[in-house]
Structure 1
Amino acid sequence: MSRELTAHNRPVYDGLHPYVYGLAAGLVAWFALAAWLLFDRKSDIELSLAMVSVLLFVAVLLPWLLSLIWQKHRRPLDAHQQTVPFREWRAADFAVWGSTLNSTHAAIDMLLPLAAVAFGLTAIGIVFLVCASLAP
């Protein structure tokens, strides 16, 4: 048993894995889809839903476009680095403000608010539909 507080010889990454970004975009899409399917009532709220959808689309599109531009204009030495498999990234540490955090915990910390909003809106929408169908 080791008395060390930190594990030695574990790689430390400063960027999230692409799967985490994909899951985040999927949760944003889930939120927009749930809003349209569960709260669309004729012409009462279509404009509000359209504006929220455009805002969410831009919030996902801008970071994706910036990542494409960054990949295109990398330094020559950085271009040869291969992507790390998710299993290795998950077992490593994640650099956070001069400290490290388990990569799995970092991904959970990033995705938890998005998941709470997406699943919470879905639950509220289902309750809304049930109450609307039971109303006289």
Structure 2
Amino acid sequence: MTKEIVLHNRPVFEQIHPSIYGAAVGLVAWFAAAAWILFDRQDDIGLLLAIISVLLLVAVLLPWSLSLIWKRHAKPHQPHRDETSFHDWRIGDFAVWDSKIHGTQAAIDMLLPLAAVAFGLTAIGIVFLIIARAAP
């Protein structure tokens, strides 16, 4: 007999909750806003910021538009699922390949790199502005 605790009857989800996608879009918008606000101090940087903004816009709009197409062309014999609350999704399991992880862990794994980049760029930009003001 093992000493591991196994929780039975937890739901297993195969899709990320929409609020996680909303948080990811918010972090991408934070990154773009921080780049434009904190680093747009020279004349030659505007083109690079515009290119990065277009790439981020495509990275957000492409999955969103594909999800709309997928929802619109769903097979008629598939049952309509009720919207799952974030709390239920968070305490459930998330299917990953042939395994499953806890919903909270899946959200952290998805959002942590985006948060690190957005908050890191903000911190670097603030330090950049402080040093630029202190320079003679």
Normalised by the size of structure 2, how large is the TM-score? 0.95
How big is the shift at 1:42?
A: 3.8
Give 3-state SS (helix, strand or coil) of 2:43's partner.
coil
Spell out the pairing of 1:104-119 with structure 2 (5 A cutoff): 104-119=104-119
Q: Which residue of 2 aligns with 1:9?
A: 9
How big is the shift at 1:4?
A: 4.9
Q: Which residue of 1 aligns with 2:25?
A: 25
Q: Which residue of 2 aligns with 1:78?
A: 78
Distance in 1, Cα, partners of 2:38 & 2:79: 45
Q: Which residue of 1 aligns with 2:57?
A: 57
Over the matched positions of the two proteins, sequence identity in percent amounts to 64
Q: Can you list the C-alpha shifts for 1:20-45, whole angstroms capped at 9, x where unaligned? A: 00000000000000000000014220
Structure 2 unmatched ranges of 5 or more? none
Q: Which residue of 1 aligns with 2:99?
A: 99
Give the 4+ runs in structure 1 shifted more than 3 A.
Answer: 2-5
Alignment length (residue pairs): 135
Distance in 2, Cα, partners of 1:4 & 1:34: 45
RMSD: 1.3
